[in-house]
Amino acid sequence: MQQALLQIHFARDHFARGAAVLPWAYAITRRLVIDVSRRRAREDLRADPTHGAEDVSSAAAPDEALHRKRSEAAVRRELLALPPALREAFELVKVEGLSVAESAEVLGITRAMVKIRAHRATVALRKAELRWERARPTVLGGDPHPVGERKAPP
């Protein structure tokens, strides 16, 4: 809280007179929360030497783990490829857990527009996930030719 108030104080010269204060303050606070969470994630990775080492008995099959990592990366790429308006609404509502009303205030748009943008982003990400699932090699499903050894049809 102190850091947010301090950042608001330092950024007061950039505030547009007559504009709503709350969305401006939420935006500054939102960026701080994102920065802190990223910093903590990096610190956790540095502090945990066993990160990435999984218990063999509870670990998924290597090809499943690889597929999961690739699909997560694909969804992240798709999220970044979304138009900024859709991505921001999605992140505020679905990732950061803000209410539609709070997100509308932060973005300076109506509640209905937040719902529409978040929904469109969700639909786009689901379509991307389906495309990724369809493109997944079916080695586990009994495909006789592993990924690198597919034979051309006669």
Question: Which segment of 6-20, 30-44, 76-90 scores lowest on mean pLDDT?
Answer: 30-44
Query: Measuring CA to CA, which residue among 30, 35, 28 is closest to residue 7?
Result: 28
Cα 9 to Cα 29, 36, 52, 100: the distances in Å are 12, 19, 41, 27
Domain boundaries, the chain: 1-42, 64-137
Q: What CATH number does the domain located at 64-137 have? A: 1.10.10.10
Angle, CA 61 vertex, CA 132 and CA 123 arms, to 5°: 25
Q: pLDDT tens, 97-114? A: 888 988 888 888 999 999
Question: Which segment of 1-10, 17-26, 130-139 scores lowest on mean pLDDT?
Answer: 130-139
